[in-house]
Amino acid sequence: MLTLAQYLETNALPPSEFAARLSKRLNRPVSQQNVYRWTRPMDHDEFSIPSPFAVVAIEQETGGAVAPASWYQHAARQLRLARRRRVA
């Protein structure tokens, strides 16, 4: 499972092109700035998670390479770390 940033890098796809593709798929504007925010590191202040419809559109546009669960990896990781600290 890839993050959106990994997918764009692997496919040499600029955020502006991906935003245009999503705009067509969703039939509404998607800005390059949104794609930029979605590709920031998950602990970055500007990171954001797309709307549920955009998450599904991203999964479809990437042929399943960027799964919905990829947007929540950071939360699962933080919960595992917190649980380990309590146990120790």
d(CA 88, CA 2): 31
Angle at 44 between CA 2 and CA 21, to 5 degrees: 45
pLDDT tens figures, 13-58? 999 999 999 999 999 999 999 999 999 988 889 999 999 999 999 9
Least confident of 39-43, 60-64, 70-74: 70-74
DSSP-derived secondary structure letter, 49:
P
Kindly report the number of other CB atoms within 10 A of residue 42's CB atom.
16
Give the alpha-carbon dihedral of 20, 22, 26, 32, to 10 degrees. Answer: -60
Phi and psi at 83, nearest 5°, equal: -65, -40
Q: Look up the pTM and report it.
A: 0.83
Dmax over CA atoms of the chain, in Å, equals 50
